[in-house]
Amino acid sequence: MKKLKILNLKKAQSLATAHSIKLSEDTLDQKERANGFFQEVGDMALFIKQIFKETFSRNFEFKEFLRQCYEIGNKSLPLIIITGTIMGLVLTIQSRPAMAKFGAVTMLPGMVAVSLIREIGPIITALICAGKIGSGMGAELGSMKVTEQIDAMEVSATNPIRYLVVTRVLAATLMLPILVLFADAFGFIGSWIGVNIKGDVSLVLYIFQAFGSITFLDFFPALVKTFLFGAVIGIVGCYKGFTAGRGTESVGKAANAAVVLSSLLIIIVDMIAVQITDMLS
């Protein structure tokens, strides 16, 4: 009996030790994860600081900047046009029954225009660009990192942040508002088609009704936030590509992380921008 008690005590002690080791390991894991998160935030802050520093330095890579504007702007345009048109069409078709209930079908162009300009145009375009441009940047720079092309650039006395990152971030920041304008414009066309499915409104009348509902306060804050969306896509895409690990697997991870993080940040920036706009108006 006495022996059994000792055995039980030993068993309890060993269980307690194992449990305590597991707790310590869990604590260490959590600590490492927390450290990793704060380290990444710090690294990204330093990366943004470097971008600002190189943006205003001499020897700006203008030719590469124009090439990136073409890559980002021109090559994303067909996708944005198609999406914008469908966005306007679907929004109109979906909103019509609700508007009809209140006998406000004539207000449909105005309602769709305000929705497109203030929110749907910028956010949908930004999310599509996060997928297309952000993943492209993450994969391209990640691949350049893995195949030592970024190192080669650095060794040839060319600053890779200035050549690769600044040009891409500025191009994305500048091109996204333009793409949003295209998305809005084609959204109006889609909406006009939607209105005409069950009605008969001329394009001129539609545009008159739509633009009659939009004020400067609808348009300006939305335009400002699209610059921020562009900057977020550029910075996150380049950061994830630039900090990709070694091996081809990390290229895929960089592209994926670029899309996920930039999409999340776009939604957060949008939420903040909406709050600020609401306070100001």
Partner 1 sequence: MKNSQETNTDTISEEKYTSEVLIDIKNLKKSFGRLEVLKDISLKLRNGENLVVLGKSGSGKSVLIKCIVRLLNPDGGSINLLGKEVNSIKGKELSEIREKIGFLFQSGALYDSMTVKQNLEFPLVRIKKDLKEAEINKKINEVLENVGLADVLEKMPSELSGGMRKRISLARSIILDPVIMLYDEPTTGLDPVTSDEISELINSVQKKYKTSSIIITHDIACVRITADRIIMLHEGHVYAEGTLAEFEASDDPLIMSFFK
Number of residues that bind partner 1 (CB under 8 A): 14
d(C-alpha 88, C-alpha 80), whole Å: 12
Kindly state the smallest distance separating residue 142's Cβ from partner 1, in Å: 12
159: left (phi over 0), alpha (psi -120 to 50) or beta: beta
Stretch that binds partner 1, among 98-106, 108-116, 147-155, 208-216 (CB under 8 A): 147-155
Does residue 157 belong to the site contacting partner 1 (CB under 8 A)? yes
Does residue 56 belong to the site contacting partner 1 (CB under 8 A)? no
Q: Which is nearer to partner 1, 157 or 280 (CB)?
A: 157
Q: What is the DSSP string of the chain?
A: -HHHHHHHHHHHHHHHHHHHHHHHHHHHHHHHHHHHHHHHHHHHHHHHHHHHHHHTSSS--HHHHHHHHIIIIIHHHHHHHHHHHHHHHHHHHHHHHHHHHTT-GGGHHHHHHHHIIIIIHHHHHHHHHIIIIIHHHHHHHHHHHHTTHHHHHHHTT--HIIIIIIHHHHHHHHHHHHHHHHHHHHHHHHHHHHHHHSS---HHHHHHHHHHT--HHHHHHHHHHHHHHHHHHHHHHHHHHHT--SSTHHHHHHHHHHHHHHHHHHHHHHHHHHHHHHHH-
Kindly state the smallest distance separating residue 152's Cβ from partner 1, in Å: 4
Q: Which is nearer to partner 1, 29 or 148 (CB)?
A: 148
Does residue 266 belong to the site contacting partner 1 (CB under 8 A)? no
Does residue 144 belong to the site contacting partner 1 (CB under 8 A)? yes
Exactly one of 26, 32, 151, 249 binds partner 1 (CB under 8 A); that residue is: 151
Does residue 154 belong to the site contacting partner 1 (CB under 8 A)? yes
Stretch that binds partner 1, among 12-20, 47-55, 149-157, 192-200 (CB under 8 A): 149-157
Does residue 28 belong to the site contacting partner 1 (CB under 8 A)? no
Does residue 255 belong to the site contacting partner 1 (CB under 8 A)? no
Does residue 57 belong to the site contacting partner 1 (CB under 8 A)? no
Does residue 119 belong to the site contacting partner 1 (CB under 8 A)? no
Exactly one of 158, 202, 248, 275 binds partner 1 (CB under 8 A); that residue is: 158
Exactly one of 83, 85, 95, 143 binds partner 1 (CB under 8 A); that residue is: 143
Q: Which residues contact partner 1 by CB under 8 A?
A: 140, 143-144, 147-149, 151-158
